[in-house]
């Protein structure tokens, strides 16, 4: 059934998958403030499809046929394989098109990520994503070998898009090199999702407390971090490492494993720690890194993906080669030994994050792309009519 706006306003149909690490909710909220003349109709296609048992069964069976029994190895593995399957792409696309056609007065369609095609007839499509399948970034940790059928569908998606917003510069490079999209692609970054840190301990940098925040322990380089931490621990026996977001099987007196936490709880961790480290093997963006920067923490990441944008080498933190525990240990040793350097990096990181990585800043850029797509789409009939009359003359 069509959702009619009480004031008759035009609508922005927002199609997305799940929470996207809190990004989808932040995008919607920030766009509501940025585009007050558009009613935003949000549709979580993942939640819809998985709430229907027969559709979920269809997706599970199709995923096993496409990727084999290894797709059933774990719940998280199955979810990732489903989302990156041909049947999910096609089914999500059809469901979204049905929803759009049932809406009245839709001015444009926005989708996050590229795992379905929300391009509807007569509607401009804007995509906002942090990665693409054929990424030019180094891939040292792959959990799914995506089928050629899905790759072809994704390429068609980006060819259909009227505007493309990406979270990091490596995605722009990938779209330029592998997809031939050098036009209408814009790097707009992402904002922070955890609440702002209001106060911090004055001696926080001298406490030598390291923080890791990530749900995917191996992909985020957790094992490498533990290895590097144990290398520097003899020199700094009072150092502590806190692991938030996941629960790896680690038992060590200097390592505190917290597991899943709320955004507010993670914000408290940022305020009480000295250094943030996320040595990911693959990292499309790394939103926790900018959250740490907003909190005034020096950051350590790897030479890949979003870290090339979020960490300014030697100014807000350090980037080290992927999976190089020796280089990672040196970076941690340098920061643990110099609280004043930590403070300088933290202050520079806070300023850098405030200038580039907030949702109001991102929404201003994304809102401008949406408005431009709507205006360009509205101008086409007039331009076509003018060209036709000129031809007749």
- Which letter does DSSP use for residue 121 in this model? T
State the pLDDT at residue 269: 95
Q: Which residue has the tokens 């720690």?
A: 273
State the pLDDT at residue 330: 98
Find all residues with CB under 8 Å of 17, minimum gap 6, and list them. Answer: 24, 44, 45, 46, 83, 92, 112, 113, 115, 116
Buried/exposed code over 275-297 (b: 16+ C-beta within 10 A; e: otherwise): bbbbbbbbbbbbbbbbbbbbbbb
Find all residues with CB under 8 Å of 180, minimum gap 6, and list them. Answer: none
State the pLDDT at residue 385: 46
Query: Any alpha helices (H) in the chain, and if so which ranges?
Result: 23-34, 45-50, 53-67, 75-83, 86-102, 148-160, 169-178, 222-232, 263-272, 287-294, 307-310, 325-336, 339-356, 359-392
For 139-181, give the DSSP string.
-S--S----HHHHHHHHHHHHH-SEEEESSHHHHHHHHHHS--
For residue 259, the surrounding DSSP H or E stretch is strand 255-259
Least Cα distance to 145 among 62, 60, 217, 67 occurs for 67
The segment(s) of the chain belonging to CATH 3.40.50.2000 are 204-356
User: Each residue's pLDDT tens digit in the chain (393 positions)?
Assistant: 334 445 568 999 999 998 877 899 999 999 999 999 999 999 999 999 999 999 999 999 999 999 999 899 888 889 999 999 999 999 999 999 999 999 999 999 999 999 999 999 999 999 999 999 888 766 555 667 888 999 999 999 999 999 999 999 999 999 998 888 878 999 999 999 888 776 677 789 999 999 999 999 999 999 999 999 999 999 999 999 999 999 999 999 999 999 999 999 999 999 999 999 999 999 999 999 999 999 999 999 999 999 999 999 999 999 999 999 999 999 999 999 999 999 999 999 999 999 999 999 999 999 999 999 999 999 876 554 444 455 555
The strand pair at 106-112 and 163-166 is best described as unpaired
pTM: 0.91
In this structure, whether the domain defined by 10-191+358-392 belongs to CATH 3.30.300 is answered with: no
Tell me the fold of 204-356.
Rossmann fold (3.40.50)
Question: Do 210 and 299 form a contact (C-beta atoms < 8 A)?
Answer: no
State the pLDDT at residue 144: 74
Q: Cα-Cα-Cα-Cα dihedral of 290, 311, 227, 78, to 10°? A: 60
State the pLDDT at residue 181: 80
Instruction: Tell me the C-alpha to C-alpha distance, in Å, between residue 16 and each of 23, 202, 251.
Output: 10, 41, 38
State the pLDDT at residue 182: 76
Measured between alpha carbons, how far is 127 from 366 in angstroms, rounded to an integer?
10
Measured between alpha carbons, how far is 307 from 285 in angstroms, rounded to an integer?
7
State the pLDDT at residue 1: 36
């Amino acid at each position: 059934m069509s959702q009619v706006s009480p004031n008759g306003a035009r609508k922005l149909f927002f199609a997305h998958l799940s929470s996207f690490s809190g990004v989808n909710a932040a995008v919607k909220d920030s766009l509501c403030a940025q585009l007050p003349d558009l009613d935003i109709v949000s549709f979580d296609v993942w939640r819809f499809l998985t709430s229907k048992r027969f559709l979920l069964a269809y997706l599970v069976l199709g995923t096993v046929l496409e990727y084999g029994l290894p797709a059933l190895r774990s719940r998280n593995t199955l979810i990732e394989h489903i989302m990156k399957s041909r049947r999910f792409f096609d089914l999500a696309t059809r469901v979204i098109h049905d929803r759009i056609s049932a809406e009245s007065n839709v001015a444009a369609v926005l989708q996050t990520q590229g795992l379905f095609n929300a391009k509807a007839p007569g509607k401009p499509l804007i995509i906002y994503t942090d990665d693409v399948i054929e990424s030019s970034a180094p891939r040292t940790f792959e959990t799914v070998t995506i089928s050629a059928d899905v790759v072809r569908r994704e390429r068609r998606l980006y060819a259909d898009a009227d505007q493309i917003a990406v979270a990091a510069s490596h995605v722009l490079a990938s779209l330029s090199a592998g997809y031939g999209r050098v036009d209408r692609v814009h790097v707009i970054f992402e904002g922070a999702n955890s609440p702002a840190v209001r106060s911090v301990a004055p001696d926080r940098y001298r406490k030598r407390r390291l923080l890791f925040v990530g749900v995917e322990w191996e992909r985020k380089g957790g094992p490498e971090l533990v290895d590097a931490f144990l290398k520097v621990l003899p020199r700094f026996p009072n150092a502590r490492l806190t692991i938030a977001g996941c629960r790896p099987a680690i038992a060590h007196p200097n390592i505190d494993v917290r597991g899943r936490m709320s955004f507010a709880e993670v914000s408290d961790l940022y305020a009480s720690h000295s250094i943030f480290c996320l040595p990911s093997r693959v990292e499309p963006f790394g939103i926790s890194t900018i959250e740490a920067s907003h909190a005034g923490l020096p950051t350590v990441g790897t030479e890949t993906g979003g870290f090339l944008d979020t960490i300014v080498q030697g100014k807000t933190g350090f980037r080290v080669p992927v999976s190089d525990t020796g280089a990672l240990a040196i970076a941690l040793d340098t920061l643990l030994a110099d609280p004043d350097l930590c403070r300088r990096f933290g202050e520079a990181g806070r300023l850098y994050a405030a200038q580039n990585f907030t949702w109001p800043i991102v929404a201003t850029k994304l809102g401008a792309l949406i408005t431009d797509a709507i205006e360009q789409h509205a101008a086409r009939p007039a331009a076509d009519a003018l060209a036709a009359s000129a031809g007749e003359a």
